[in-house]
Structure 1
Amino acid sequence: MHLRNKQVDVDPCCPVCGEEDETIEHLFLRCHVSRSCWFVKLGVRIDPGTLFTDFMREVLQQRDSWVVAEVQNMIYCLWEARNRWLFEERKFDFAMVIARTQTLGIVAPVTANAGEEPRHGKATWSRPAASVIKVNVDASMGRDNLAGFGFVARDGDGEILAAGSKYPSVASSSTIAEALGLRWVMEISSQLGFRRVQFETDSLQLYYAWKKGTGRSVLFSVIHDCISFLSLFDFVDLSFVRRQGNACADFMARNASTLSDVIWIEEGPPGLFCLLQADLLASVPVLS
């Protein structure tokens, strides 16, 4: 648009969709590819009337530095993909943009005490041992203390075995929501016949509370319920992964209000599959 205003003869239409003039709002917020990226990656629905400056102002006011970093990451990848489409005729779709964001290595902040193991928690999803099923779980807090839960279960080859969501549940804090999500998914996993399970969370508070095991609070009451499920399994472990390594469960939790109470067997909702593919590629063993 700036070039057109300077009387430079260029096509003002979006080179991706060709439906509207390519403004900063259209490219990053309104084009169907961009809208799909925001929804699938972060569960964000963009209002068509949102100005880019207002969007960024709201993002920068977020207290979660990981969210700010992910938004900046997405904007960079959208711009990069647009230029490759325009100048190199490379395919431009939301799955490729999201896969690209997974390669840039944003590190989620954690608050563990110095020297403790989770501070060096993995930043990407990793495959479990051959005989173990990894179940990633996450919770998302909304208004009125309503939380949504999500999980994705995969085997040692990275193949999806099950995925599910639950909404709504009432939780007094995000950590309580994470614990309630763990309790829910442990029960679901036992019903699905999983016997050797590695549950994985991006909640550092939940991880430490699980390791501690006892205490006097609502959180430890929920953890005690989780412990009561241990007899249903032959092996159980809880591991910590940084948030970008929990992207699939995060997607299920963030969209739980629209996915509702559904369990998918060996499949999941359409928006999940590009995230599964990104995890699969990131977890390929390195040959020495």
Structure 2
Amino acid sequence: MVINETKWDEEILTDLFNDRDVQLIKNIPLSAVGRNDSWMWFLDEKGQFTVKSCYCKLIGEYSTSDVGFWKKVWLVWEAVGLKEWSQVLPGEQAMDNFKQIFSAGTKEQSILVAVLCWSLWNRRNKWVWDKIDMSVFGTKAAALNLLADWRKARMEGNKYKPVVSSRSRQWKKPQAGWVKINVNAVIFTATKSIGIGGVIRDENGEFLRAMCKQETGMWQVREAEAISLREVMSWTKRHGFSKCEFETDSKLLADAFNGGQGNSYFYSIVNECIELSKHFQHVLVQFVHRSANVVAHSLARVSHSESGLLKWVNVAPDFLIDVLTYDSI
């Protein structure tokens, strides 16, 4: 690194490493605040080594085509209220049959197989613990009865299920005397960079300022979102706002800022955001749904076709007019 600066010494990097390694090193986010060097596990969001994350990496779980299959299995199993799937570990041949059923079968067939598995597991437990032997017909009947009861309960529950208004997920004005700043990040895989967008609006919902910029480097989504909050927070601080509500559509980021702890790239950037927040009189960082963060998302995407930092003051750019109008309704 350059002495007394938070940037890599590219001349030294080029002398010591090959092109691939240089790019990987330059992609490591550097902390703007002083902190001691420490070990961190890059496969875990908190930087902590776990056997599970190591195992998943070794078997290629993150890229295997079986991921979709297992997600479907879990969703079906959870949908019928039976989470004991981890207790049912069939052999290799049976596993192939399961994959065929859940991949090619209908939703109804998948659900039926799920409850039959639970009934078999329940039958096994009754024999092991209580020495009660259920017949094959009894096992099937128990599964079908369970499925019928679950469907009836679902139908009864849906009668009283509250309707979620789309308005509840729309952008809302900040409290009196505050400004609201929406932030977002977009990953541009082709150019190995991320786009950052931020917009400031007052208590009346009026547009005050907006910015967007492109940052070179390939990061995971969580790091990209944290970098966007850091950059937008720094930009906001320079303009003298003291009571600020920051909104992000990354729940992981909002939770980390409001009390999460970890030792990873992600948390090092979050800690920078926390340090920046001390320069404001009052700061809130909150999670919102993507539908309430469309303006910031639009700004982040625009940065892909522009270079450098783009800024707008008091007058919004044309491409934001429609989404700003929708938010103000």
Match of 2:239 in 1: 192
Distance in 2 (alpha carbons) for counterparts of 1:147 and 1:137: 13
Residue pairs, 1:12-31, within 5 angstroms: none
Match of 1:241 in 2: 288
Match of 2:183 in 1: 137
8 Å CA contact 2:188–2:304 kept in 1: the answer is no
Match of 1:164 in 2: 211
SS at match of 1:176: helix
Residue pairs, 1:111-260, within 5 angstroms: 122-143=168-189, 144-260=191-307
**Gaps in structure 2 of 5+ consecutive residues:** 1-165
SS at match of 2:225: helix
Residue 311 (structure 2) pairs with residue 263 (structure 1)? yes
Structure-2 change in CA distance of 1:259 and 1:126 (3 Å): farther
Distance in 2 (alpha carbons) for counterparts of 1:280 and 1:259: 27
8 Å CA contact 2:183–2:297 kept in 1: the answer is yes
Residue 128 of structure 1: CA displacement? 0.2
8 Å CA contact 1:168–1:257 kept in 2: the answer is no
Radius of gyration: which is bigger?
A: 2
SS at match of 1:182: helix
Per the normalisation by structure 2, the TM-score is 0.47
Residue 171 of structure 1: CA displacement? 4.0
Q: CA RMSD in A?
A: 1.8
Per the normalisation by structure 1, the TM-score is 0.54
Distance in 1 (alpha carbons) for counterparts of 2:279 and 2:167: 28
Structure-2 change in CA distance of 1:123 and 1:259 (3 Å): farther
Distance in 1 (alpha carbons) for counterparts of 2:217 and 2:306: 17
**Gaps in structure 1 of 5+ consecutive residues:** 1-119, 282-288
Match of 2:30 in 1: none
SS at match of 2:293: helix
Distance in 1 (alpha carbons) for counterparts of 2:218 and 2:259: 21
Distance in 2 (alpha carbons) for counterparts of 1:212 and 1:222: 14
Residue 232 of structure 1: CA displacement? 1.1
Structure-2 change in CA distance of 1:259 and 1:266 (3 Å): farther
Distance in 1 (alpha carbons) for counterparts of 2:305 and 2:221: 20
Distance in 2 (alpha carbons) for counterparts of 1:216 and 1:168: 23
| Structure 1 residues 166-224: Cα deviation after superposition (integer angstroms, max 9, x where no partner) | 11332420111000000001100000111110000001111122123421111110011
Give the AA of the match of 1:267: V
Give the AA of the match of 2:252: Q
Residue 323 (structure 2) pairs with residue 275 (structure 1)? yes
Give the AA of the match of 1:264: W
8 Å CA contact 1:163–1:267 kept in 2: the answer is no
Aligned residues, how many?
A: 162
SS at match of 1:187: helix
State the percentage of identical aligned residues.
33
Residue 121 of structure 1: CA displacement? 11
Residue 268 of structure 1: CA displacement? 2.7
